[in-house]
């Protein structure tokens, strides 16, 4: 029997559709219909009582959640706890993100993601390796002693092709062009971040296959009058995507508005860069031997260096509306449609349309999450 989600304000490609019915057949959406459609009358009815129904959020940068840091627990169980914590905040698809670490931890993380996908852990789309091929000058909270140059063994591990969507954050000046070509040939999505590259180096990396920029503005060479830097190349380029952390701490709202004005629509998407406190009661955790404390949504070490965030995706959507003045429908797309496109999932995820995954989130008027579905299965 089909399931019909009725009495909802449905996010469509051109805006909201009022009083629509979304028809689900198991894990797929089969249509967006009117309430009088005969298929709706014959279906199992779920009344959403006027809630807003959007594609489930997709988060390409999730270091942790539910009290778990992926680096410390690179296991299927750790991934499942992280995914469950973020699902409560509307995230139905994510990439567990490994902060720069040694080769053995990278291997464990890749193996865990492969096993999680094979075991149908709901919400796992792949993995994000944020390093270790980064620049010490822009290390942020990463441990510079983990940084290194990629080897042939690294290329084989990262590009094995059986861990879903693989995003690799690199500093372009630390990775040879031939290595970038080798990784992209294996369908690895390269993103520039934690980099001191010049504009020219960044342009060359874009030509070599870099597809995006990791937490734009943070941990990268800035836009200046005579040296546009990584930021200048990112804002100028029409094809690449930029992930942004909209938590009120990482980037000033005016700076983010500049990015939205510069980039084509659909090329800026939301990430959380979330750490273990998301979905947990404890506001401290340990990273690289340092105690990280989260206060008022801001995670820092004792020296005040930002260490990821305590942001969840629903909060990022609300912040995008309230701090940046973005319309609600566009903020929701920045959390779903646009990251799906960055990952190359634009034909299966990120829209409420026939044939798309039944990964959905229902929110109230205040953009608080009330219900979620992954593969058509509800859990909230």
pLDDT value at residue 296: 85
Please count the CA atoms within 13 angstroms of the CA of 154 that sit on its side-chain side: 20
300 falls within a domain: yes
- 68 with 157, same domain: the answer is yes
- 251 with 367, same domain: the answer is no
Ranges of the chain whose pLDDT falls below 50: none
**Known catalytic membership, residue 273:** yes
pLDDT value at residue 297: 85
- 48 with 66, same domain: the answer is no
- 30 with 66, same domain: the answer is no
- 150 with 108, same domain: the answer is yes
pLDDT value at residue 161: 85
Two tokens, residue 132: 């270790």
171 falls within a domain: yes
Range of the domain at 73: 57-342
Q: What is the separation, in whole angstroms, between the first and last Cα of the chain?
A: 22
| Number of domains the chain contains | 2
347 falls within a domain: no
Contact 193, 213 (CB under 8 A): yes
For the chain, give the percent of residues with pLDDT over 70.
100
348 falls within a domain: no
d(CA 145, CA 165): 27
Whether the link from the prior residue into 132 is cis, omega within 30° of 0, is yes
pLDDT value at residue 335: 98
- 167 with 230, same domain: the answer is yes
Of 154, 273, 312, 329, catalytic: 273
273 falls within a domain: yes
pLDDT per residue over 238-285, tens digit each?
999 999 999 999 999 999 999 999 999 999 999 999 999 999 998 999
pLDDT value at residue 19: 83
Instruction: Give me the CATH number covering residue 95.
Output: 3.20.20.140
pLDDT value at residue 1: 86
pLDDT value at residue 35: 86
The owner of tokens 């190359």 is: 344
pLDDT value at residue 379: 84
- 222 with 367, same domain: the answer is no
Q: Is residue 165 classed exposed, middle or buried when 0-12, 13-18 and 19+ CB atoms within 10 A define those classes?
A: buried
- 221 with 189, same domain: the answer is yes
- 35 with 179, same domain: the answer is no
What's the whole-model pTM score? 0.97
- 247 with 369, same domain: the answer is no
Instruction: Give me the CATH number covering residue 361.
Output: 2.30.40.10
- 237 with 319, same domain: the answer is yes
- 30 with 113, same domain: the answer is no
């Amino acid at each position: 029997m089909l399931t019909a989600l009725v009495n909802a304000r449905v996010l469509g490609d051109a805006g909201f559709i009022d009083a629509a019915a979304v028809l689900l057949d198991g894990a797929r959406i089969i249509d967006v219909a009117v309430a009088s459609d005969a298929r709706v009358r014959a279906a199992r009815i779920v009344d959403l009582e006027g809630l807003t129904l959007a594609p489930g959020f997709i988060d390409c940068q999730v270091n942790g959640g539910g009290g778990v840091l992926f680096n410390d627990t690179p296991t299927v169980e750790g991934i499942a706890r992280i995914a469950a914590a973020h699902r409560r905040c509307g995230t139905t698809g994510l990439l567990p993100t490994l902060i720069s670490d040694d080769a053995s931890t990278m291997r464990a993380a890749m193996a865990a993601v492969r096993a999680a996908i094979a075991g149908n852990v709901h919400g796992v789309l792949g993995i994000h390796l944020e390093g270790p091929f980064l620049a010490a000058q822009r290390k942020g909270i990463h441990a510079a002693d983990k940084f290194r140059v990629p080897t042939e063994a690294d290329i084989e591990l990262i590009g094995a092709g059986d861990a879903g969507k693989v995003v690799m954050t690199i500093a372009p000046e630390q990775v040879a062009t031939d290595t970038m070509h080798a990784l992209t040939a294996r369908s690895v999505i390269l993103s520039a971040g934690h980099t001191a590259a010049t504009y020219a180096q960044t342009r060359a990396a874009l030509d070599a296959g870099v597809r995006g920029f990791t937490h734009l503005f943070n941990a990268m060479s800035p836009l200046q009058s005579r040296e546009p830097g990584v930021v200048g190349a990112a804002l100028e380029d029409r094809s690449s995507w930029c992930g942004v952390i909209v938590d009120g701490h990482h980037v000033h709202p005016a700076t983010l508005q500049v990015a939205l004005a510069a980039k084509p629509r659909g090329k800026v998407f939301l990430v959380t860069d979330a750490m273990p406190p998301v979905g947990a009661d404890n506001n401290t955790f340990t990273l690289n031997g340092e105690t990280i404390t989260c206060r008022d949504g801001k995670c820092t070490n004792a020296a005040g260096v930002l260490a990821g965030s305590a942001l969840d995706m629903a909060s990022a959507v609300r912040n995008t509306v309230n701090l940046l003045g973005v319309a609600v429908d566009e903020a929701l797309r920045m959390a779903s449609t646009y990251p799906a496109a960055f990952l190359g999932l634009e034909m299966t995820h990120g829209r409420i349309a026939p044939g798309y995954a039944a990964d959905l989130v229902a929110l109230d008027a205040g953009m608080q999450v009330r219900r979620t579905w992954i593969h058509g299965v509800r859990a909230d």
